[in-house]
């Protein structure tokens, strides 16, 4: 799988290592200094964008990726005040978007309980 990382902080580095260990490719890393690199030309070989930025940048980056036709998996928190806007945008653009505030199996079992 060809992955674009949206956010290259601590979680971005962890995701990159797990992806590479599993035989996937990280073809682009977007951070605060190169967000303009998220463009049609640079995403042509991508299968998915995995987003772990922050509340100030997550919604706009997610919508930009969806606008470009990229499915997005997001784990950033703190931006849920714009969640409805992002999901509506995704639906309007026939996009694919998966969000979870925590991807830990244990945390999700606890949420369920």
Q: Quick: pLDDT tens for 53-83.
A: 999 999 999 999 999 999 999 999 899 999 9
Q: Give the three-class secondary structure for 32.
A: coil
> Is 89 buried (19+), middle (13-18) or exposed (0-12) by CB count in 10 A?
middle
Instruction: Give this prediction's pTM.
Output: 0.89
pLDDT band for 109, please (50, 70, 90 cuts): confident
Instruction: Say whether pLDDT at 107 is over 80.
Output: no
Q: Give the three-class secondary structure for 16.
A: helix
């Amino acid at each position: 799988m060809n992955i674009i990382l949206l956010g290259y902080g601590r979680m971005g580095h962890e995701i990159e290592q797990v992806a590479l260990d599993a035989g996937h490719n990280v073809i682009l890393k977007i951070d605060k200094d190169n967000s303009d690199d998220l463009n049609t030309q640079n995403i042509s070989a991508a299968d998915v964008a995995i987003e772990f930025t922050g509340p100030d940048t997550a919604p706009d980056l997610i919508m930009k990726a969806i606008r470009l036709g990229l499915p997005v998996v997001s784990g950033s928190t703190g931006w849920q005040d714009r969640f409805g806007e992002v999901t509506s945008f995704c639906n309007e653009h026939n996009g694919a978007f998966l969000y979870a505030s925590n991807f830990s199996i244990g945390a999700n079992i606890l949420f369920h309980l």
